Amino acid sequence: MRAFSADSHPGHKRGHNEDCYKANPEQQLWLVADGVGGHSNGEVAAAIVRDTLDQDLADGASLIDAIHHSHAAILAEIASREGSNMGSTVVALRLTDSDYEIAWVGDSRAYLFDGNTVKQITRDHNPVSEMLARGAITPQQAANHPERNVLSQSLGVSDTITVSPDRIRGELHKGQQILLCSDGLTDELTDVQIEQIMSARKNPDEQVQALIQAALDSGGRDNVTVVIVGDKAEPGAVTPPVPPRKRDTLSNEQAARSADSAGHDKVVWLLLGVMVTLAISWMLW
């Protein structure tokens, strides 16, 4: 069984904790859910996500289907409560032997740590993250952007929201670890700080506690939740980072658009090849 550790703290500024996590090594499921700040009953929404995913996966459902079901379950709870618009993010890890699958909605993150370096392997569902991906802003600007916590999608909140979980797959090698966390960690610590803290600790228990304490020492303005899965590399060991498999968004409409785009690109390159061949033939003639 893989080593793991998980913990959560309400932080210094919040009266209660809207984060929650699940660590279920029997069915190889780990997750972090963050009740969406500013909405009533965020902790209820996060708990619905946690419990729905745990039960659905035990019943044989896929990770993506379980996330969609949790969205519907929150909406059903909203309908039973007057004036509620609760919501939650989620980042969930499922392991099958050494193969991992991570799916997420919102800005709770997953990182891959190879014993030396930390790499973010999820991308936040918010406009600032999209601007960063396009190169419109720098990482420094993104970290301080006033709308960095505005979500483009989340679970619950409203039935007008289209939920399209993103998913990545990869292989977790010996000495590698996966870190799941709420934004209470990443709003307080940079990736470099996270990397330094994880590198300096011996095992997941020490890493989790040190990361949470560092977030609290840096302000602790939000709830902080950290889950780490995997054995830390032995000192001096070199574990080459393995890039995760291509990120895909589980939306039939988007998948169709992607296929159409790929077909269009092939047509464009074919036409260009014909044009170049004709031009060369004309010049030689």
Task: Give the pLDDT confidence of 189-233 residue by residue, as tens digits.
Answer: 999 999 999 999 999 999 999 999 999 999 999 999 999 999 987
- For 163-185, b/e burial (b = at least 16 CB within 10 A) is bbbbbbbbebbebbbbbbbbbbb
For position 280, what pLDDT does the model report?
42
Element (H, E) at 194: helix 191-200
The structure tokens 């998913």 sit at 167
What confidence tier does 246 reach under pLDDT thresholds 50, 70, 90? low
For position 136, what pLDDT does the model report?
74
What confidence tier does 179 reach under pLDDT thresholds 50, 70, 90? very high
Edge-to-edge strand list for the sheet holding 118-120: 4-9, 224-229, 177-181, 109-113, 118-120
Express each pLDDT in 35-89 by its tens digit: 986 566 899 999 999 999 999 999 999 999 999 999 999 999 999 988 888 999 9
Burial group, residue 224, by CB count within 10 angstroms (0-12, 13-18, 19+): buried
8 Å CB contact between 202 and 235: no
The class that CATH gives domain 4-249 is alpha beta
Percentage of the residues of the chain whose pLDDT score is greater than 90? 65
For position 255, what pLDDT does the model report?
32
What confidence tier does 14 reach under pLDDT thresholds 50, 70, 90? confident
- pTM score, two decimals? 0.81
8 Å CB contact between 20 and 88: no
- For 259-270, b/e burial (b = at least 16 CB within 10 A) is eeeeeeeeeeee
Work out the average pLDDT over 130-145.
73
